Chain A
């Protein structure tokens, strides 16, 4: 199963239709071209802007905050600088470079110069080429896009803003109910565990 097939399956499992990229870009915000307002510790400014643009595509602002609203770009810089091994750092930088080269050869422009819907289409194509991450055959080296996605999801979903205002944050549940009816608009329950 490749990742595109996995997307379709996911769409079904989650109860939404796999919407066309064209429709999807219309509801996505386009605020990734602001100048960098912070000083990265690992990336140069160009790399930091690219990471921000990618994070913004992965988790864009909708009626809920996007990745950049909760500082995910700053978080990715910190994690790559302080948590990644030297090898992973190299791999990550190589991924950023390849993505830009790819974008130039396919689109004639670097990624950050693309319109938001062009960015989406480009990443959609890129992710389709990644093999599905199977439980029983993990890849030798994690594809760059998945490395980035992991950091973006972590930074976003463990932020105070998202956990306390947009998820069902219950730090001390006090009781256990193993199986109870769920209301249709139930948000994900989260606590303080990792």
Chain B
């Protein structure tokens, strides 16, 4: 049975938010685990070259050179991409994908150990009972095969391990969690919160729930409020695979981490209908290798895992691994955002803050809970925050000269902004397919991504504009401005749904344990598993689904069921 050094108990594909969790849980349960990562290795602290740099130490003071903008023409559009973090994003010219000319899709990727856990926004919210019930209630998509109660203990476990700071509030639409102490609100945020909660009985504002530590945990030091997260944190102040899950996996002695390993396909044993292992291309040598295991976790990101399954063709599954249903690649979702609402405040001129908080506020969803909006279903939550603006606001002001300069050397006025994130429905024709005509540098087919927001999302955005403005108005905001930019799918960096969970193998890829209906020793626990998108930032849910699926997989292995 032994295939020597290429035989493991478990294989995890991907080392980001989901893969790190799979690795930790499998290793801690005693399984010899191979973690495959398509990109280079990134070691905690050692490989964060910009983590302590001052602005003047960067050649272009944070801006990207023309060459970098051209090489990273998609990645450079996202908020966290700058001269200090550009090494944590893929080079777009070297990593092609296609989309229809009239349907832009921004695929934001970090192909290296740790993946996007190094650069993520860290906002960590549970889905609510109503989110798991929504599809069944509305008759949209398919029903989630799990309910909130199934995931709640795993949310507990994940929050306690990664460290999420936040405030328990008792909101039905945003369940409480196991939080570290919350971060402070700024003065102007307290004012806006007060006004919102005085004027509406169903709208609330709470401090952002973020995977930044407010107390030391394990070998990690609490957040130092430098607001430099996406460069990698020498304190381990925020959750990343490097700071948290990979060290735990490594400490067991059970993990083998193999960077530069592009999984080309999952190998199916057509006699047993189980996966034997995976075939990889070494990204440096271009050599093919095979690795074998009893159980395989695909955690390569939504579109990454979907690509692997689409490319894993066999006589049994000519359309991709476990894809008799034909649902693989379909129902792609992303949260729509890029509605911005902002106001100035002329009070609190004698108040200031210490520390640059890497976190904002959150207004949980309030639409379509008690009553039904005539124009759209589901809802949205507001992120955003207040701050006392700095010299950069000089770019928005008229003026120059001595007094202009002196004014910018002092704290500017307080502002408050809202940035809502909205739920997107699962549409069958929002889908990815293999593009055999465009090949990457290893000769592999690429992804063609065909995705757009539709009427429900566009109606919701009008409402975001209206409710955002009215909340800042009642709070006494001045010069309120609001904009509804053309939302581009992918840009929310919350892509989900292309291998969805469901009760029926005919209409879904995964069962209630994130197990392929048709290939029982393959589990998919990244965003591709999502049956609906809800409107909350989804990474916490991927981690909880992963931990839960590993627990099930290992118990099935012990029962000799896999």
Residue positions of A touching B, CB distance < 8 A = 3-4, 6-7, 10-11, 13-14, 16, 19, 24, 27-28, 57-60, 62, 64, 66, 75, 78-79, 82-85, 120, 123, 127-128, 130, 132-136, 146, 149-150, 153-155, 157-160, 163, 166-167, 170-182, 186-194
**Contact between B60 and A83 (Cβ–Cβ < 8 Å)?**
yes
A6-B398, A153-B394, A158-B56 known, 20 other contacts, Cβ within 8 Å = A10-B399, A19-B403, A24-B402, A27-B402, A59-B400, A59-B405, A79-B63, A82-B60, A120-B401, A133-B395, A133-B396, A160-B56, A171-B52, A173-B225, A173-B226, A179-B353, A180-B352, A182-B351, A186-B410, A189-B390
Give B291-325 interface residues, CB cut-off 8 Å to A. none
**Contact between B226 and A192 (Cβ–Cβ < 8 Å)?**
yes
12 inter-chain pairs at a CB distance below 8 angstroms, sorted by A residue, are: A10-B399, A64-B406, A149-B400, A167-B409, A170-B354, A175-B225, A178-B186, A179-B186, A179-B190, A180-B351, A189-B390, A193-B356
Chain B residues within 8 Å of A127, by CB:
398-400
Residue positions of B touching A, CB distance < 8 A = 52-56, 59-66, 69, 82-84, 183-187, 189-190, 223-228, 340, 342, 344, 346, 348-357, 390-392, 394-413, 481-483
**A44 CA / B18 CA spacing, docked (Å):** 54
CB within 8 A of B353: which of A150, A153, A167, A180? A180
Chain A residues within 8 Å of B413, by CB:
13
Shortest Cβ gap from A102 to chain B (Å) = 16
Chain A residues within 8 Å of B62, by CB:
158, 194
**A119 CA / B184 CA spacing, docked (Å):** 47
Q: By CB atoms of chain A within 10 A, which of B183, B189, B340, B406 has the most?
A: B406
Chain A residues within 8 Å of B61, by CB:
75, 154-155, 158, 194
Chain B residues within 8 Å of A150, by CB:
395
**A186 CA / B409 CA spacing, docked (Å):** 9
**A156 CA / B398 CA spacing, docked (Å):** 18
Shortest Cβ gap from B71 to chain A (Å) = 14
Shortest Cβ gap from A164 to chain B (Å) = 8
**Contact between B401 and A28 (Cβ–Cβ < 8 Å)?**
yes
**A6 CA / B396 CA spacing, docked (Å):** 9
**Contact between B56 and A163 (Cβ–Cβ < 8 Å)?**
yes
**A192 CA / B58 CA spacing, docked (Å):** 11
Chain B residues within 8 Å of A11, by CB:
399
**Contact between A174 and B482 (Cβ–Cβ < 8 Å)?**
no
**Contact between A149 and B395 (Cβ–Cβ < 8 Å)?**
yes
Q: A85-B66, A176-B183, A193-B228 are in contact. Are A157 and B54 (CB under 8 A)?
A: no
**A6 CA / B399 CA spacing, docked (Å):** 9
Chain A residues within 8 Å of B398, by CB:
3-4, 6-7, 10, 127-128, 130, 132
Chain A residues within 8 Å of B406, by CB:
62, 64
Shortest Cβ gap from B51 to chain A (Å) = 9
**A190 CA / B340 CA spacing, docked (Å):** 25
